[in-house]
Amino acid sequence: MRKMRAMVLESPNKMVLSEVPVPTINADEVLIKVKYCGICGSDWGAYTGKYADEVALLPLVIGHEFFGVITEKGDDVPGDIAIGDRVSADICLPCNTCFYCRRGQKLLCSNFQQIGIHTAETSGGYSEYIKVPWQNIYKVPDAVTDYQASFIEPITACLGASNKMNIKIATSVAIIGAGLGIIHGCLAKIRGAAPIIIIDNNPDRLAIAKKMCADHVIDINKTPDAVAEVMRLTNGIGADYVLEAVGCGATYEQAFKMARRGGVVESFGICSDDDLVSLPPVAFVIQEKSIQGSCAGIGHNWQEAITLLEYGRIDPTPLISMVVPLEETEKALKELQENRKLVKVLVSPEITERIIF
């Protein structure tokens, strides 16, 4: 049996470099050699045991922002998918038979799984190899660099929210959180939003946001009342759209206050199960505010992300802080919590020393 290196999450707060079997592909699957896997904010939640459904699956190899090269293909994989192809993969595995799937709402699937989050048998991106159904594969064109390709999955998640919001030209957008919030800001800019306001407590991230997409940034260390500042920047009206990309009850409450009458709050940040918010129901009625959620990208969002990268509509590489070897994954997860200057960290099984940007 062939073996590979993988970072196995054995229990909350314990990730171990291990030798595990290389996934055995079925006739309709491909094996991908991982080049890069980005560390997602939700990976910290998985690592610390924040999400009960993932804790129940331990031990597990996580990591879902992966990009790589096909090294094996099953007998039923079409001929236009070849060994050596650079690929990304839709990580969503809906059942296709439940009530929601049959209504076209596959992200709400009753038996929903995602590769690198819920799937022990496929491995996850924090490993040397991962297997994927060929139907989930999207080829990456030469115009897209390997570093850019490592952002395809997070861009798809942002596209899911962007498509749902359907931002109109010259409408205002406030975004709480300058992690993936910066990608959200870039998509809002592509749609013609103005002004775009990004709020965070990290001046380094806000500086990147200002260069990439934001018309205004709000550093809550200097301007604690972010709601009042958003109101000032929108001439006392409030933002047409507010997107929460932190995952905290307090910031969700702020988001609701920032939205104008008739405005939309897009829920994107994932809170813990016991994190609750207090919202005035009268605002839903009298002010006609609305809240909607978006949890991920799926299917066609992968091609949308690749197209935006291919034609230079978005370039996420300024967000990369460093690339670390596979064995430093756990250390990097902790560093992202401790070092405020870090934005995006990639993991690569192919390197032995860190690459600092």
- Name the amino acid, one letter, at 218: I
- 247-276 residue pLDDT tens: 999 999 999 999 999 999 999 998 877 888
Q: Is 36 helix (H, G, I), strand (E, B) or coil?
A: strand
- Whether the CB-CB separation of 190 and 256 falls below 8 Å is answered with no
- 167-221 residue pLDDT tens: 999 999 999 999 999 999 999 999 999 999 999 999 999 999 999 999 999 999 9
Nearest to 230 by CA among 244, 242, 245: 242
- How many Å is the Cα radius of gyration of the chain? 20
- Name the amino acid, one letter, at 232: R
- 269-326 residue pLDDT tens: 988 778 889 988 888 899 999 999 998 999 999 999 999 999 999 999 999 999 999 9
In the chain, where does DSSP find H-type helix? 41-48, 52-55, 99-102, 146-149, 152-165, 180-190, 203-212, 226-233, 249-258, 281-285, 300-310, 329-338
Looking up tokens 């207090």 gives 278
In whole angstroms, what is the distance from residue 152 CA to residue 56 CA?
A: 28
Domains of the chain: 3-151+316-356 (3.90.180.10), 158-293 (3.40.50.720)
DSSP 37-104: EEPPHHHHHHHHT--HHHHTT-SB----EEEEEEEEE-TTS-TTS-TT-EEEE--EE--SSSHHHHTT
Nearest to 123 by CA among 13, 19, 232: 19
Q: If you ran DSSP here, which 8-state letter would residue 17 be given?
A: E
Average of per-residue pLDDT values in the chain? 95
Q: What is the pTM of this model?
A: 0.95
